[in-house]
Amino acid sequence: MDELLAAALQVRENAFAPYSNFRVGAALEDESGRVHTGCNVENSTYGLTVCAERVAVFKAISEGARRFRRIAVAAGAATPTPPCGACRQILWEFCGDIEVVLVNLKGETKSYRMSELFPRPFDDSFLR
Ligand code: THU
């Protein structure tokens, strides 16, 4: 299996998801080939939960990475699970039109571009 998908499946094991029991892993590849991983981290207030994708992006940014090639997202649902709306906004901000590969526990995959998942985004172009 593609190493990026394997990394997303592996980090999913670290998910802190006692409230939803829905575990998610993400693996973000930067331009140098380095992989930044993240899992969902839930909170008893529910609303402070952070998704796997945002954990991966923020970890990468805080390590100094700035350009990215693709992200893999692993979850246990029958249908490969796409990023939520909040994560799409964050992914667009930092990663632009990258490839998003979704994988489930059966190894079934679906691949999209961010521009398919998040058409007509709000971004910094409106602030100029
Ligand atoms: N979740 C993610 O981590 N990524 C997604 O793309 C969808 C949802 C998490 C948030 C929460 O911990 C759990 O999955 C159920 O919504």
The H or E element spanning position 9 is: helix 3-12
Beta strands in the chain (DSSP E): 24-30, 35-39, 68-75, 99-103, 109-113
Cβ(96)–Cβ(71) under 8 Å? no
Encode pLDDT of 22-43 as tens digits. 999 999 999 999 999 999 999 9
Beta-strand pair 99-103/109-113: antiparallel
Q: pTM to 2 decimals?
A: 0.97
Within the chain, how many helices (H) and strands (E) appear? Answer: 4, 5
CA 83 to chain CA centroid, Å, is 6
The protein residue whose alpha carbon is closest to atom 3 in ligand 1 is 51
- What's the gap in Å between 40 CA and the centre of ligand 1? 6
3-127, which class in CATH? alpha beta
Could you tell me the residue ranges of all domains in the chain? 3-127
Encode pLDDT of 46-87 as tens digits. 999 999 999 999 999 999 999 999 999 999 999 999 999 999
Q: What is the pLDDT of residue 1?
A: 77
Encode pLDDT of 101-112 as tens digits. 999 999 999 999
Q: Is 29 a catalytic residue?
A: no
Cβ(30)–Cβ(36) under 8 Å? yes
- CB of 20 sitting under 6 A from ligand 1: yes
